[in-house]
Amino acid sequence: MSPDLLLPTPPIVRPDKDRFLQEENPFEAMMSRFDRAAVLLDLEPGIYKVLRNPEKQIITSIPVMLDSGDVEVYTGIRVLYNTSRGPAKGGIRFDLNVTLDEVTALAAWMTWKCAVVDIPFGGSKGGVVCDPLQMSVGELERLTRRYTSSIIQTLGPDSDVPAPDVNTNERVMAWIMDTYSMHVGHTVTAVVTGKPVEMGGSRGRREATGRGCMIVTKRALEHLGMPIKGASVIVQGFGNVGSVAAQLLEREGCKIIGISDRTTGIVNPKGIDVESAIAYVAQNRTLAGFTKGDAVSNSEMLTCETDVLLPAALENVITTKNAKHIKAKVICEGANGPTTAAADAILDEKGVFVVPDILANAGGATVSYFEWVQDRQGYFWAEDNVNKSLTTIMERSFDAVLDLSTQHKVNMRTAAYMLAISRVATVHRLRGVYA
Ligand code: GLU
């Protein structure tokens, strides 16, 4: 295992404390978009009802022996939303704000995401209500193994395949793979994706979500006739998705004028050197103390003058409170669910071109698919092949969504839902209802 896997999990952007007073909960946000697309598709009532409901929701209590010798009990959730197109696919997050509604919305988003990029997976998501920053490595390992064992009946390369998400990483995936393999009595690499490369992980997986964001941002700028060289970009969230997207967009000639994490926001109209910000975070864990620009709050940063805004942290950061003040011409949703449904209408009215989450951040799931294929074949690809295949899929999916949006005169989000739902519905029609 490479030494960086032994470092503590990097901190994430923490939600504001009014996160619980939001205009919509994530499941409602997902459902209102689903409903709009279902109406436009004239979806038959039976399939509509099936697709509005998760297939399976598991809530489990996870006792963990703490280093102190005390026992703490955590709540773990795994939701399989839909498996009609293939095994359920979706990450596991460790966070204090995890709820059943949130995990269900995220599992539905995984279903639509895998369908938008046309990979043969359904959608799932998992979460454990905990604060991993307050836990030791030993406590996290025991929590991960006990959670895995509680949901073991749903896991498997043909049934449900986890991956990293907020506050989980390659090391956590290695523990899940080992626990599952011990239960079944032999090594099963394809049971999780986002593993260390040394044990069946795919080259390019760690960077895949950020790389996918870069690919679709370029495509969006090209479509709008805006030059990529010199385009200004603000990235909110500087974890695995935001930092890689910023780095790759900078390499394409964009000017990164704002970055932030939960501690710090920095804006510099002359451009921020992303490599040095990444090096700073690698040393200091956060951007706190990185002084290569003017300090701004997370919320101020979202409404600064920029060509591209890339929210890459958590849900519900673009709401009715700030949408009318957003000046970006393009929003590329690196996070899942960063825009509320009510804010969509405001952005539409302002003519902001939004590349929706289920398309923009599908690069991670896509390279997870490549990892699963490589594990099952026992044959591993060069990084260049991974990146080329990812580019092909992201560009093809962007173009398919754009075509549908032009054809039906709807925004990119509605078009992406229409494409996804029609693909999932087609399989339901072909498979029929088992009685
Ligand atoms: N957690 C990532 C997402 O939300 C990746 C999921 C996966 O690779 O299964 O897209």
The enclosing domain of 105 has a CATH number of: 3.40.50.10860
Write the pLDDT tens digit of every residue in 41-56.
Answer: 999 999 999 999 999 9
Which of 37, 104, 39, 116 lies closest to 315, judged by CA?
A: 104
Q: 82 with 135, same domain?
A: yes
How many angstroms does the Cα of residue 222 sit away from the middle of ligand 1?
27
How many angstroms does the Cα of residue 140 sit away from the middle of ligand 1?
20
Which of 2, 4, 10, 6 lies closest to 285, judged by CA?
A: 10
Q: 347 with 291, same domain?
A: yes
Atom of ligand 1 nearest to the CA of 361: 10
Q: 217 with 344, same domain?
A: yes
Our measurement of the distance from residue 111's CA atom to the centroid of its chain's CA atoms, rounded to an integer in Å, reads: 12
Say what the pLDDT of residue 285 is: 87
Q: Is the residue at 403 inside a domain?
A: no
Say what the pLDDT of residue 14 is: 40
Atom of ligand 1 nearest to the CA of 193: 8
With cut-offs at 50, 70 and 90, classify the pLDDT of residue 28. confident
Place of tokens 């990146």: 387
Angle at the Cα of 102 (from 138 to 34), degrees rounded to 5?
Answer: 145
Say what the pLDDT of residue 17 is: 41
Asked whether the beta carbons of 354 and 331 are under 8 A apart, the reply is yes
**Catalytic-residue membership of 125:** yes
Q: Write the residue with the smallest CA distance to atom 9 of ligand 1.
A: 90
- For the segment 276-290, the average pLDDT, to the nearest whole number, is 94
Atom of ligand 1 nearest to the CA of 89: 9
Enclosing domain of residue 113: 53-189
Q: Write the residue with the smallest CA distance to atom 8 of ligand 1.
A: 365
- For the segment 253-279, the average pLDDT, to the nearest whole number, is 96
At 127, give phi and psi (nearest 5°): -160, 150
Q: Is the residue at 163 inside a domain?
A: yes
Look at residues 360, 383, 412 and tell me which one is the last residue of a structural domain.
Answer: 360
Q: Is the residue at 384 inside a domain?
A: no
Asked whether the beta carbons of 277 and 290 are under 8 A apart, the reply is yes
49 CB neighbour count, 10 Å cutoff: 10
Length of the chain: 435
Look at residues 334, 360, 386 and tell me which one is the last residue of a structural domain.
Answer: 360
With cut-offs at 50, 70 and 90, classify the pLDDT of residue 22. low
C-alpha–C-alpha distance, residues 56 and 184, integer Å: 22
Q: Which structure tokens are listed for 434?
A: 């088992």
Q: 337 with 298, same domain?
A: yes
Our measurement of the distance from residue 59's CA atom to the centroid of its chain's CA atoms, rounded to an integer in Å, reads: 22
Determine whether 422 is exposed, middle or buried from the number of CB atoms within 10 Å of its CB (0-12, 13-18, 19+). Answer: middle
Residues in a beta bridge with 93: 127
How many domains are contained in the chain? 2
C-alpha–C-alpha distance, residues 411 and 405, integer Å: 6
Sheet of 56-65: strands edge to edge? 56-65, 71-82, 122-129, 88-94, 160-164
Write the pLDDT tens digit of every residue in 318-372.
Answer: 999 999 999 999 999 999 999 999 999 999 999 999 999 999 999 999 999 999 9
Helices (H), 42-156: 45-51, 100-116, 137-150
Q: Is the residue at 341 inside a domain?
A: yes
Catalytic residue, candidates 125, 218, 255, 329: 125
**Mutation test of ligand 1: which of 83, 173, 209, 386 has the most ligand atoms closer than 8 Å to its C-beta?**
209
Phi-psi region of 42 (alpha: psi -120 to 50; beta: other; left: phi over 0): left
How many angstroms does the Cα of residue 91 sit away from the middle of ligand 1?
5
How many angstroms does the Cα of residue 268 sit away from the middle of ligand 1?
31
Which of 274, 165, 261 lies closest to 209, judged by CA?
A: 165
Which H or E element spans position 29?
helix 26-41
How many angstroms does the Cα of residue 156 sit away from the middle of ligand 1?
16
- For the segment 421-433, the average pLDDT, to the nearest whole number, is 97
Place of tokens 């997986």: 205
Write the pLDDT tens digit of every residue in 404-422.
Answer: 999 999 999 999 999 999 9
How many angstroms does the Cα of residue 368 sit away from the middle of ligand 1?
8
Say what the pLDDT of residue 23 is: 67
Helix/strand/coil for 127: strand
C-alpha–C-alpha distance, residues 238 and 250, integer Å: 14
Which amino acid does the sequence have at 310? Answer: L
The per-residue pLDDT of the chain, averaged, comes to 94
Q: Is the residue at 321 inside a domain?
A: yes
* Residue 243 half-sphere exposure toward CB, CA atoms < 13 A: 21
Write the pLDDT tens digit of every residue in 194-215.
Answer: 999 999 999 999 999 999 999 9
Q: Is the residue at 111 inside a domain?
A: yes
- For the segment 154-159, the average pLDDT, to the nearest whole number, is 98
Q: 136 with 167, same domain?
A: yes
**Mutation test of ligand 1: which of 104, 119, 368 has the most ligand atoms closer than 8 Å to its C-beta?**
368
Identify the residues whose C-beta falls under 6 Å from ligand 1.
89-91, 163, 165, 193, 336, 361, 364-365, 368
Q: Is the residue at 29 inside a domain?
A: no
Q: 141 with 254, same domain?
A: no
Atom of ligand 1 nearest to the CA of 194: 8
Look at residues 360, 378, 405 and tell me which one is the last residue of a structural domain.
Answer: 360
Say what the pLDDT of residue 4 is: 41
Residues in a beta bridge with 355: 332
Determine whether 170 is exposed, middle or buried from the number of CB atoms within 10 Å of its CB (0-12, 13-18, 19+). Answer: buried
Write the pLDDT tens digit of every residue in 369-404.
Answer: 999 999 999 999 999 999 999 999 999 999 999 999
How many angstroms does the Cα of residue 336 sit away from the middle of ligand 1?
10
Write the pLDDT tens digit of every residue in 63-104.
Answer: 999 999 999 999 999 999 999 999 999 999 999 999 999 999
Q: 151 with 108, same domain?
A: yes
Q: 221 with 350, same domain?
A: yes
Atom of ligand 1 nearest to the CA of 369: 8
Q: Is the residue at 284 inside a domain?
A: yes
Q: Which structure tokens are listed for 273?
A: 């050197």
Atom of ligand 1 nearest to the CA of 93: 1
